[in-house]
A and B are shown apart, each in its own frame.
Chain A
Amino acid sequence: MKYTFSKRNLAVNFIVPIDRTYRDTWRMVKSHHGHPVWQPPDNETIEIHGQIVGIDFALCYGCEKCIHACPTHVFVLMEGPSGHLVVDPIREDDCILCLVCEIICPVEAISIEREGGSEDTLNSLLNGTRG
């Protein structure tokens, strides 16, 4: 039996992780509780909320694991644009970049903004001037 497309194509928006390049490649369309809301260039129904802590509302289903795990209480539960429950990073300024939410999220809906220059910081550790 030959399939013309796989199930993955049918559900692609819901099973691939959050687009971690969204801060560079998506459009900032509005502000919500002080954080930006982003949409992909070719789709006006999908939203990612947050700058430091980004949450893909198409993936998030409000399981609240991140709410319980976050040591600084960044997240709150709310009703998303499509009517289902999502978590919103309303206190993203309090994020301490521990990444526990990214690790615990069962659908990889969360992306924490990374500091640039990790190669530089490694070089500083290894080759920094001898003081």
Chain B
Amino acid sequence: MFDVILSEDERGIRDEVRKFVRDKVDRDLILAMDSKEKEYPYEFIKAAAKENLLGLRFPKEYGGRGLGWVSEIVALEEIGVLGIALGCAYSLPSIVGEAINKFGTSEQKKKYLLPTLQGKKICGEGLTEPRGGSDFFGTNTAAVKKGNSFIVNGEKRFVAGGIGADYFLVYAKTNFEAAPHESLSAFLIERDMGVKVEEEYELMGCRGMGAARIVMKDVEVPEENLVGELHDGNSIFNAMMVPERLTSAAGPIGMGRACIEIAVRYADKREAFGRAIKRFEAISFKVADCTTQLDAARGLVYRAAKKADTGDWCRKEVSQAKVFATEAGFTAVHEAMQILGGIGYTDIYPIERLYRDARLATIWTGSNEVQRLIIQNEVFSEILSEDRSLKRDVELDTPGSHKTEEKVYSEDPKKYYPT
């Protein structure tokens, strides 16, 4: 189904990652992470790095393969079947790497990007604060210039790799007078500079990624660790949100697919009322609907990936893909559990774990509510600014179209007031 729109090379990447997922990821790692016995899947990152699978789209000199975005989302769907935590571990080099690759100095690329893609350094990102995540530009963390350094004070919450990462890409306020989108800057802050973990969160799913609240109190960050221009965190944020949300979109397709495959095999064998349950439309239509939604999600993610590759502004496409794919993925996991019934709710099958995992996807990396805000904003500005002369004016294809007095948009509330 999806094969028809992939190039031969992209199908090759898919098969390579599929094989890696099948052979190189120990089942015990997944179980240890979910049972809270692991704080970070170092061995997974090292294994992926060994196969040169991290940050596929980055230049070869910094450890990538110089491939396109489509290759990454194809890889992510395959990694996605392992659950959201390993998907996150796999995505972080792509997300943090975007900031360094696009805005970093060559020293920063050598010092941070290369070892990250080689699996020698673990990266994390600090965006969400206790006061909120989606309201990103309200960031309270502050960095004040002092000599050749910045003194950083603040807290970041729900940091994947808060326990485990060697360094963090952190946004902080540097201009205290300007508009919010002109007031933030991005920094590479190493744990050893004084980042402290104050809270390790117990999570419903996505376990084993060391999600924590990190605190920076008078942390001295050398000015060479500023990423991009001072006060231009906005540009980096907008660039980083492409991998952040595209990876968030592609992973749940894998989770949904894995669960539906289990459900299809189950419904084929499981009997009720004297026949296989797949013979009941209540069951088989769930399979039809979920696989259609997953394919539609692939289409949206694929289109967003293609547009991201052009370098054009692709926020609408990326947000649409994130919303649709995370909801399609979660629905597929949910319906798969329904098809299995009670046994799907136990740890005999992995659906309950993937259910807990997939639930997060609609929340993180900009909640789906915020994605919808972004989408409508882009759509309104797109439609209201388009050149209408190129299109037929369908509004006029009606017998009453000339009655312009009936096309009322507003009225003076004092219209009938006594004069």
Contacts and interface: CB of A to CB of B under 8 A. Distances in A.
Interface of A: 71-72, 96-99, 115, 117-118, 120-131
Nearest to B373: A126
Interface stretch (B51-59, B232-240, B289-297): B232-240
Most buried by A among B137, B213, B373: B137
A124 B155 contact: no
29 contacts: A72-B198, A96-B129, A96-B130, A96-B131, A96-B155, A97-B130, A97-B140, A99-B131, A115-B131, A115-B138, A120-B137, A120-B180, A121-B135, A121-B136, A121-B180, A122-B373, A124-B179, A124-B180, A124-B181, A125-B134, A125-B135, A125-B370, A125-B373, A127-B377, A128-B180, A128-B237, A129-B181, A129-B234, A131-B238
A128 B238 contact: yes
B130 A98 contact: yes
A126 B374 CA distance: 6
B199 interface: yes
Interface string B164-178: 000000000000000
Nearest to A100: B130
Contact of A128 (B134, B234, B239): B234
Contacts of A123: 180
Contacts of B199: 71
Most buried by A among B138, B236, B374: B138
Interface in B291-318: 313
B131 A121 contact: no
Contacts of B140: 97, 115
A12 B232 CA distance: 50
A72 B377 CA distance: 38
Given A115-B140, A121-B137, A125-B134, 10 more contacts: A71-B198, A71-B213, A96-B129, A118-B138, A124-B137, A124-B234, A125-B135, A125-B373, A128-B180, A128-B234
A97 B135 contact: no
A124 B134 CA distance: 12
Most buried by A among B134, B181, B236, B313: B181
B172 to A, nearest CB: 15
Instruction: Give 10 nearest A-B pairs by CB, closest first.
Output: A131-B235, A128-B181, A124-B181, A124-B137, A96-B130, A121-B137, A98-B130, A124-B180, A97-B131, A121-B138
B180 A117 contact: yes
A73 to B, nearest CB: 11
Contacts of B234: 124, 128-129, 131
The number of chain B residues touching the other chain, given as a range, is: 20 to 34
B137 A128 contact: yes
Interface string B229-261: 000101111110000000000000000000000
A127 B179 CA distance: 12
Interface string B130-149: 11001111101000000000
Nearest to A126: B377
B201 to A, nearest CB: 11
Contact of A122 (B135, B213, B238, B313): B135
A72 B131 CA distance: 14
Contact of A130 (B136, B138, B313): B313
Contacts of A131: 232, 234-236, 238-239
A98 B199 CA distance: 13
A26 B239 CA distance: 45
A113 to B, nearest CB: 11
Nearest to A96: B130
A98 B181 CA distance: 23
A8 B171 CA distance: 48
B198 A130 contact: no
Contacts of B236: 131
A127 B238 CA distance: 11
Contacts of A98: 130-131
Contacts of B239: 131
A100 B131 CA distance: 10
A123 B137 CA distance: 9
B332 to A, nearest CB: 30
Contacts of B213: 71
Contacts of B181: 124, 128-129
A115 B140 CA distance: 9
Interface in B186-213: 198-199, 213
A129 to B, nearest CB: 6
A121 B182 CA distance: 11
A118 B313 contact: no
A122 B137 CA distance: 8
B131 A125 contact: no
